[in-house]
Amino acid sequence: MHTGERGRAHYAVLLVLLLLPCLLFPGALPGSRVVSADDHLSVHHLQRTAEGPGGQVYNHQLSDPAVQLRPLRDRIRDSWRQGRAPLWNPDILAGAPLLADGLSAACYPPVLFELLLPDATAQDLRVWLHLVLAGVGAAMLAWLLGASAAGGLVAGAVAMLSAFPVCRLLHPHAWVYAWTPWLAWALLRVARGRGGALPVALTWAAMLLAGHPQTAVHGGLFAGLLGLATLRGRRVWGAALLGLALGSLLAAPALLPFAEQLARSVTVHVRTGNRLPVEALLTLVWPDPFGHPARGDWQGVGAHLESNLHVGVVALGLALYGLRQRAGRWWMGGAALALAVALGLPLLFFVPANHARLGGMAGLAIAVAAGLALPRRRWAWALVVLLVAELLWARRSDQGTIPPESFRAPVASWALDLQAMQGPGRISGLGWAIQPDTGMLAGLRDVRGYELPVSLETERLMAALDPALVRPWFPVARLRSSNRALLAFSAVRYLGVVAADEAAVASVGDLVEISGLDAPLRIFELDPGAPRAWLAFAAEGSGGQEQALRSIEDAQQARRRPPVVVQGQPSPRLAQLLAGSGELPIQPVEIDEPWAERQELAVSLTRPGLLVVADAWAPGWRATVDGVAAPLLQVAGSFRGVALAPGEHQVVFTYRPRGWVVGLWLGALGLLGLLLVPVVRSWGHRRRRDGN
């Protein structure tokens, strides 16, 4: 094939890869329908009334994008629209770091499409973009390795339409996955002297920002092993390492807060140690041998989207055919190794990640192997057509599309009524009532939350509320004598209970039920006047958080004499409060919150007092009193407080974690490095040319 013909064939392949998502989602890409899991909200408490069960769910295993990730990203979008970084989320776990959660991808540009586009358009564009990124990236990698034009289409189609990216399409896993072949391509170009550090930096930064650190570890291993096999010479290694370093610096504003939170968490281990069931290997060749949740016949072990490895009969057959060549043996060896670790080989035991998901990287390796193995014959295009048809047919049921009126449908009126009743306080549910992250869509602030990683302080608080401690959802099963006072102390004013949850209903039997709400739940008053901020005029010293939490047996008494974690010698002002009797009534204080990371409180007191804000304590919070920095106290080990002298004061709490501050400087350094790389490279070329 002549050079011109080969170029036209490559462009034709790229055009096909751009159009394949439209065949997978007809009527949505493009069209009026939206690729979304918002149908899960139609059966959620927030969009239902007392009369009906709500809508129907297409794939019941795809709830997270709607009930967890969408509320987080809505808050992120609103924060950026206000011109500020989304550092803190006040709506779950009595407050939690937002940028540092590792899942919300707060600094990833495609998450912010809604800033420029209508919501439905932004959603579909994100779906199309990541499918195309995965497909075109795999095709470019295969071509660089020597595949034919048709072989590139094979690699791209398998990388785009295999089970891992399509099943996870609305999750950040697929976003990280989509950049993995590009990082491998960039490293291979460096190894062959065709590229420099810039593409490596940009692709690695995109992987780190895309919102799923565990998949970034796996993608880094995929590309890194290719780099180890191909990089030769100090100059080449220098360019590759420079690119990885610059990419890490660019991602530092999001990466460092996450690392800072991870260092204070034990919940990262909740999602480690998982294994693929051996029978999942059947899914490599046959789609859905154990049924499919969208069809209602799923009979497999675990979750469909976790254990589905499908790449198709044609792709796997081509990859096995390629074993007769050295390159094919290397790529299939890598796929086999990834599958072995996913099945339980403890090769990466020291890396805290869910290695069962390495099946996605195995599928990507098989995609490249199949592309390289495709025979260079005209009839090979028939195999390509058969492969694409097989993949489109196999993955047709994984994701649903919904009409635009069902996308971002409004919450029920009763939820807005409850939000108004909540005021500055909080609500909670017992069991699975009002799933906490989803409650954010109605402005409901919850003491519970679904979050990873969770700080040790937050985990101790949740363990005090329910010792069962079901991570990472942290439900509170029922109201007990041991958690009633702590819930009220945490500013929880109302409790939601599912009527069918007999144990939960029995536990709230002495509470007043709210009537007149057209809700699918029963709503009870726990402490309708519970303040979220107040002045106390005495304090009780505590040696640690767990002891402080256990000491809260009566909410009113605990508010009058809050337990404060004392480490070392208390300050004179705190010592005065510790000597108080706790008999004086508290003084509620209004909180002015111009944004989530800033709270302003005006107080007036005639004697020394302790200002308590029943919001989560975290290292990034700082307090100033009349513009002067003041020590931030851990009230009950979980909440914030500051000791005050008599007089009128303006108290300001601000959240600015050290990881964000350092990350901004490092990000600026990375950006400067990106600008300097082409300048230095051009200068080096000119110097070598002049030397010759």
pLDDT digits (tens, 9 = 90+) for 481-536: 999 999 999 999 999 999 999 999 999 999 999 998 999 999 999 999 999 999 99
Between CA 589 and CA 591, with CA 590 as vertex, the angle to 5 degrees is 120
Q: Which residues, at least 6 apart from 569, have a Cβ–Cβ distance to it below 8 Å?
A: none
User: Strand 633-635's sheet: what is its strand order?
Assistant: 540-542, 563-565, 633-635, 639-644, 609-616, 533-536, 587-588
Q: Is the pLDDT confidence value at 652 over 70?
A: yes
Whole-number Å distance between alpha carbons of 88 and 598: 9
Q: Is the pLDDT confidence value at 691 over 70?
A: no
Q: Is the pLDDT confidence value at 2 over 60?
A: no
Residue type (1 letter), 671: L
What pLDDT is attached to residue 685? 61
CA-wise closest residue to 450 among 432, 469, 437: 437
pLDDT digits (tens, 9 = 90+) for 212-250: 999 999 999 999 999 999 999 998 999 999 999 999 999
288: region left, alpha or beta (phi > 0 left; psi from -120 to 50 alpha) = left
Q: Which comes out higher in pLDDT, residue 318 or 1?
A: 318
CA-wise closest residue to 178 among 223, 147, 113: 223
Helix 313-321 and helix 380-394: axis angle, to 10°?
A: 140
Q: How far is CA 204 from CA 123, 150, 165, 249, 516, in A?
A: 23, 28, 18, 10, 54
With bands split at pLDDT 50, 70 and 90, how would you rate the model's confidence at 684? low
Query: Which of these ranges, 21-30, 567-576, 650-659, has the smallest mean pLDDT?
Result: 567-576
Whole-number Å distance between alpha carbons of 21 and 28: 9
With bands split at pLDDT 50, 70 and 90, how would you rate the model's confidence at 641? very high
What pLDDT is attached to residue 195? 84
316: region left, alpha or beta (phi > 0 left; psi from -120 to 50 alpha) = alpha
Contact of 549 with 80, CB cutoff 8 Å: no
CA 436 to chain centre: 15
Give me the chain's average pLDDT, please.
Answer: 92
Arithmetic mean of pLDDT, 406-421: 93
CA-wise closest residue to 371 among 226, 136, 161, 156: 156
Backbone dihedral angles phi then psi of residue 515, each to the nearest 5 degrees: -105, 160
What pLDDT is attached to residue 198? 94
Q: Is the pLDDT confidence value at 692 over 80?
A: no
What pLDDT is attached to residue 688? 60
Total residue count of the chain as it appears in this document? 692
pLDDT digits (tens, 9 = 90+) for 143-171: 999 999 999 999 999 999 999 999 999 99
Q: How many CA atoms lie within 13 A of 543 on its CB side?
A: 1
pLDDT digits (tens, 9 = 90+) for 261-270: 999 888 766 6
Number of Cβ within a 10 Å radius of residue 692: 5
With bands split at pLDDT 50, 70 and 90, how would you rate the model's confidence at 91? very high
Whole-number Å distance between alpha carbons of 466 and 479: 9
Number of Cβ within a 10 Å radius of residue 559: 23
Q: Is the pLDDT confidence value at 443 over 90?
A: yes
How much of the chain exceeds pLDDT 70, in percent? 97
Contact of 276 with 342, CB cutoff 8 Å: yes
Residue type (1 letter), 495: L
Q: Which residues, at least 6 apart from 441, have a Cβ–Cβ distance to it below 8 Å?
A: 41, 46, 70, 71, 74, 411
What pLDDT is attached to residue 450? 87
Whole-number Å distance between alpha carbons of 216 and 382: 35
Backbone dihedral angles phi then psi of residue 206, each to the nearest 5 degrees: -60, -40
Q: Are strands 34-35 and 401-402 parallel, antiparallel or unpaired?
A: antiparallel
Q: Is the pLDDT confidence value at 1 over 60?
A: no
β-strand partners of 622: 654
Residue type (1 letter), 668: A
Q: Which residues, at least 6 apart from 624, have a Cβ–Cβ distance to it below 8 Å?
A: 630, 651, 652, 654
Where exactly are the structural domains of the chain?
8-402, 419-525, 533-656
What pLDDT is attached to residue 271? 63
Q: Are strands 628-630 and 633-635 parallel, antiparallel or unpaired?
A: unpaired
Whole-number Å distance between alpha carbons of 342 and 359: 6
With bands split at pLDDT 50, 70 and 90, how would you rate the model's confidence at 5? low
pLDDT digits (tens, 9 = 90+) for 277-317: 999 999 999 998 999 999 888 888 778 888 899 999 999 99
Contact of 438 with 83, CB cutoff 8 Å: no
How much of the chain exceeds pLDDT 90, in percent? 79
Whole-number Å distance between alpha carbons of 645 and 634: 18
